[in-house]
Structure 1
Amino acid sequence: MSTIKAIPDGYHTLTPYLLLADVGAEIEWLRAAFGAETHGAIDSSQGFIRHAEVRIGDSPMMLGSAGDGSSKSVILYMYVEDVDAVHRRAVAAGGRSIQEPTLQFYGDRTAAVEDPAGNQFWIATHVEDVSPEQLAERAKSH
């Protein structure tokens, strides 16, 4: 007899769930922008996607229909190997650049893109380990 895990394999303790007007369109954008892989979808009897799951890198993301035809925006922070390349790819896929790749005082090189549904993806590559003391000192000038 197997033991049921409280957190299923392949999931994290915290998993983002986006509520969207058009789940299918978001899946296509996530594929084009970040190479997302689809891991299942549940269609409604009304012809739209009720729930879907995608994976970006090692992280799952759940997507669902908002039901009222609107999208509820969120901000997601995503670590990648090459922030510059991923930012270019996301913009080429139809995202709107909010911030070009920029070195931050806390040790990340970040960029930001808004998807067609209004969600913000803050993309980062960690480039420097910063001690708590260094962080406190650097934060004074920002």
Structure 2
Amino acid sequence: MTQSEIQAIPEGMHTITPHLVVRDAGRAAEWYKEALGAQERGRVPLPGGKYMQIALWFGDSAVMLADEFSEAGILSPLAIGGTPVVLHLSTENVDALWQRAVDAGATVLQPLQEQFWGDRYGQLVDPFGYRWGLAQHVRDVDPDEIARQAAAMFGSEA
């Protein structure tokens, strides 16, 4: 294959792909497959049992995992006390996916319930320190109504 035939963004990938650093990437990959229905597409193992990369797919979206390498400053949420990032995962049956994740050991942060913006949504923390917002769109809501409800929720007028 010539350089001109190589795709800059590989087929099936999106412009932005999350790359999550976790403790024990092999175990994390198995948890994401069991709890959240991820499909594994490949691994790049390193000597000593760690992984440089494990490619997982959640529906049409890729997420890459890598092991922690603290000596190089590559740290997981467990090493730094949490994460401000929430990974939003849309699904066609949020109740079933939610239950799978909880049964597999996820911690509930925000209970699963219908939200004012039209999604059935809740937040979990996985055993590796990442926050997941699980969602299923259940109704369309006018953007002005969403803005009004958000302003009311956060204590200001729209």
TM over 0.5: yes
State the one-letter code of the partner of 1:140: A
Q: Could you tell me which of 31, 40, 51 is aligned with 2:33?
A: 31
> How does 1:1-142 map onto structure 2 within 5 Å?
3-68=5-70, 70-72=75-77, 73=83, 74-142=85-153
Structure 2 unaligned spans of 5+:
78-82, 154-158
Letter in 2 for 1:15: T
In structure 1, what is the Cα distance between the partners aligned to 2:13 and 2:148?
A: 36
Identity of aligned residues (%): 38
Q: What amino acid is the match of 1:110? A: Y
- TM-superposed CA distance for 1:3, in Å, is 2.5
Structure 1 length-normalised TM: 0.91
Distance of 2:110 and 2:19 partners within structure 1: 24
The CA deviation at 1:88 is 0.6
The equivalent residue for 2:80 is: none
Once residues 109 and 47 of structure 1 are traced to their aligned partners in structure 2, the CA distance between those partners, rounded to angstroms, is: 39
Cα deviation for residue 65 of structure 1 reads 1.4
Q: Cα RMSD (Å) of the superposition? A: 1.7
**What is the one-letter code of the residue matched to 1:95?**
A
Choose between structure 1 and 2 for higher RCO, CA contacts under 8 A separated by at least 6 residues: 1
Aligned-residue offset at 1:138: 2.2
Q: Give the distance between the partners of 1:105 and 1:81, measured in 2 at CA.
A: 18
Runs of 4+ in 1 over 4 A off after TM superposition: none
Q: Give the Cα separation in 1 of the matches to 2:123 and 2:34.
A: 16
Query: What is the aligned residue count?
Result: 142
Structure possessing the higher radius of gyration over alpha carbons: 2
Report the AA paired with residue 97 of structure 2.
Answer: V
Tell me how far apart the structure 1 counterparts of residues 140 and 15 of structure 2 sit (CA, whole Å): 25
CA–CA separation in structure 2 for the residues paired with 1:30 and 1:114: 12
